[in-house]
Amino acid sequence: MLRNKNILIGITGGIAAYKICELVRMFKKNDANVKVVLTPNAKEFVTELTMDTLAQDRVYIEQFNTTDKKPEHISLCDWADIFIIAPASANTIGKLANGIADNLLTSLACAFTGTKLIAPAMNTGMWENRFVQKNISALKNAGMHIVEPESGFLACGTCGKGRLASVEKVFNEAALLLYENQALKGKKILITAGGTRENLDPVRYIGNYSSGKMGKALADAAYNAGAEVTLICTFEETKPYKTITVNSALEMENAVKNEAQNANCVIMAAAVADYRPAECSVSKIKKDKNEELTIKLVKNPDILANLCKNKKQNQIIVGFCAESDDLIENAREKLAQKGCDFLVANDITRKDIAFSSDYNEVYILSKDAPIKKIDRSTKENIAKSILEIIFKGENSGN
């Protein structure tokens, strides 16, 4: 699987740097090409000669030490299939999160647009520092993959979280990413997420409890699998793929119409309001002496049904169904009414998978295949399973 894959490994200054010697050997034993980049401080822990010998290629340290026409941070970016930074120090993590490019490694991280895998290692106090955690969150939001440190005995003599994850885990994560990056390559996937808000006046709205976590997990998983992703969501989101922020059902309908034209697959994970106020007050509705307030509601367009009526040839359309009663029966009825290729159904009465949870459990219905159940797991894992089922169905003609 790794034959002729180009692995770029960046090593920062930390005692765990010596462990990366074994990581390089693992990639070489699996027929991958490896190039190593050291920060100036990393040379205090591993030698150029060691890495030169293991990688069977010269080690890169100086940013502009090149004999060709391209600076190193451009030529190496063009070459690499994945960029692994291990161990990643708190200092380098802070630079990556803030776009600082003051050495070859950080310049590469700034310029490289492919898959990045970061394996932090540091003292427990540093790892738990709120600014370090803020930087880690920023890297995750930017689409970088984090292999979190493990707990155990540290070189500084303390015991806690901060030890570099095992090289086997870093290797396996990288291999999985390289494999997944090919699965949906060439696909254009449109995904919606979050609950729409239907305004009553400038300060009030009718909404629902959808957090959008399932839709975001699907978008992340599709992007990691190599797809060209567009996420239409009801909240601000910074991602390495295209995002469009909308508020109401009508705004979502317009955005979906525009983006669905070129999509191979549309996944409607958003909780779109069925009704909206017939009128939206331009000024705040004031409380008066009446004990009741009557609001007239009108139906919103059925975005999923309209998509299905106008679907392109070979386009896959996936709907979602959140139910509190008779889950499978209602899902079957919705699948028939809407005409989508797949319907993902989940029970909103369960507190362990309900709105805003990081977990889910779903049933996937389709026209010509038995119902498939995906047992309770993280929404990230559920998203991967949903995509696998959808595109396996496409390949088998279901």
The DSSP symbol for 186 reads T
CB neighbour class for 293 (10 Å; exposed up to 12, middle 13-18, buried from 19): exposed
**Which sequence positions are flagged as catalytic?**
156
Alpha carbons 227 and 221: distance in angstroms, whole number: 9
Alpha carbons 54 and 398: distance in angstroms, whole number: 48
Contact 36/11 with Cβ under 8 angstroms? Answer: yes
Mapped onto helix, strand or coil, the DSSP state of residue 269 is coil
**Strand pairing category for 242-245 and 228-233:** parallel
Alpha carbons 57 and 169: distance in angstroms, whole number: 24
* Residue that is written with structure tokens 């979906």 in the block: 256
Write the DSSP assignment of 37-100 as a string of letters: EE-GGGGGTS-HHHHHHHHTS--B--TT--SSSS-HHHHHHHH-SEEEEEEEPHHHHHHHHTT-
Q: For the chain, how far is it from start to end, CA to CA, in angstroms?
A: 28
